[in-house]
């Protein structure tokens, strides 16, 4: 962890308030991280938007009692959907609570975003043309049979976001998902599909509000989820987890010359002790470190399935080393 602090400290464009003397990590992996108000950061399955000199963190609000949904063939532990939180930071270490970006609906049980539903893995991108912030997320029923991607918009990064609707892109199931916005402004929805057997990548419309007909199927029969995509030196990288519910498993990554493929699988990017469990966590996002080429933050969730509200976060430095992705604990 010493390394992440020192690397971040020397990052040219960011000013990090690091306790350099004893290099005490300010965001120690797996511990409780507090916001500016002293409350624990509640932003799971999170993503980050960099906009106008600030980082905005969006994540699932998990609050309340965890219960096991009965009659499921897998351990379907859940809490009421609490909506999506938003925090902001200039240095990636100190996080200011902003708002509930998207509130869960408390009144209409038929609403996609009713508290009884699943609202997971929110990701936000900015559309320069429409000047709108666009949030995509996984929308489901508590038994995960709905498998839709939901979309919401706002004119401000912190929201409030207006929920529009959800869809199965091109009729295809969409569960664990992420969004990737390329340098040319094109954006893609990446989602576990076909009952989690396949990952799909679908080009979004120019306003980012709907899927287009252009999509590909990748990692067929690999049962991958928790996708996180990033780009480095013209190549695209996709980190995913295996499919084992809230339990940790080995991450894997794939590489391609174009978002629309071909994708080649490369193996586990994690190195050293606990690499077989992704350091007891599951991928959610890869954040490019502004000003440090080839350095990224690998963001992951350390789920606590028996008490989901107490799930923790792991942010580790990720390097691309001669085309190979490396994540060290």
Footprint of ligand GAL on this chain (CB under 6 A)? 45, 120-121, 176, 225-226, 245-246, 282
- The nearest distance, CB 178 to ligand GAL, in angstroms, is 11
CA distances from 308 to 39, 104, 156, 174, 183 (A): 16, 17, 29, 22, 36
- The nearest distance, CB 96 to ligand GAL, in angstroms, is 26
- The nearest distance, CB 99 to ligand GAL, in angstroms, is 23
Nearer to ligand GAL, 181 or 224 (CB): 224
- The nearest distance, CB 241 to ligand GAL, in angstroms, is 7
Residue nearest to ligand GAL (CB): 245
Buried b (16+ CB within 10 A) or exposed e, 23-60: eeebbebeeebebeeeeebbbbbbbbbeeeeebbbbbb
Nearer to ligand GAL, 143 or 257 (CB): 143
Identify whether the C-beta of residue 75 lies closer than 8 Å to the C-beta of residue 68: yes
Nearer to ligand GAL, 278 or 295 (CB): 278
* Residue among 143, 137, 140 at smallest CA distance from 77: 143
Nearer to ligand GAL, 92 or 139 (CB): 139
Nearer to ligand GAL, 80 or 120 (CB): 120
With 0-12 / 13-18 / 19 or more C-beta atoms within 10 angstroms meaning exposed / middle / buried, residue 141 is: middle
- The nearest distance, CB 175 to ligand GAL, in angstroms, is 7
């Amino acid at each position: 962890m010493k390394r992440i602090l020192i690397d971040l400290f020397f990052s040219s464009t960011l000013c990090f308030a690091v306790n350099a003397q004893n290099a005490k990590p300010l965001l120690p992996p797996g511990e409780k991280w507090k916001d500016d108000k002293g409350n624990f950061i509640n932003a799971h399955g999170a993503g980050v938007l960099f906009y106008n000199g600030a980082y905005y963190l969006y994540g699932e609000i998990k609050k309340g009692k965890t219960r096991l949904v009965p009659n499921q063939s897998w351990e379907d532990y859940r809490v009421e959907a609490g909506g999506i939180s938003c925090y902001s930071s200039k240095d990636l270490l100190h996080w200011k609570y902003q708002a509930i970006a998207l509130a869960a609906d408390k009144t209409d049980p038929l609403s996609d975003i009713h508290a009884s539903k699943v609202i997971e893995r929110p990701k936000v991108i900015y559309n320069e043309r429409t000047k709108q912030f666009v949030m995509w997320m996984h929308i489901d029923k508590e038994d995960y049979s709905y498998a839709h991607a939901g979309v919401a918009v706002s004119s401000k990064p912190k929201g409030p976001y207006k929920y529009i609707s959800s869809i199965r892109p091109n009729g295809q199931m969409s569960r664990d998902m992420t969004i990737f916005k390329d340098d040319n402004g094109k954006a893609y929805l990446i989602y576990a599909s076909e009952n989690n057997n396949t990952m799909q990548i679908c080009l979004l419309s120019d306003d980012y509000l709907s899927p287009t007909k252009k999509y590909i199927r990748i990692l067929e029969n690999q049962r991958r989820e928790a996708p996180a995509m990033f780009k480095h030196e013209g190549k695209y990288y996709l980190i995913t987890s295996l499919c084992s519910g809230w339990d940790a498993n080995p991450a894997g990554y794939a590489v391609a010359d174009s978002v629309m493929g071909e994708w080649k699988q490369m193996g586990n990017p994690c190195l050293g002790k606990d690499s077989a469990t992704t350091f007891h966590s599951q991928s959610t996002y890869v954040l490019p470190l502004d000003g440090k080429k080839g350095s990224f933050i690998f963001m992951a969730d350390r789920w606590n399935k028996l008490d989901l509200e107490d799930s923790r976060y792991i942010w580790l430095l990720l390097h691309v080393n001669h085309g190979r992705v490396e994540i060290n604990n």
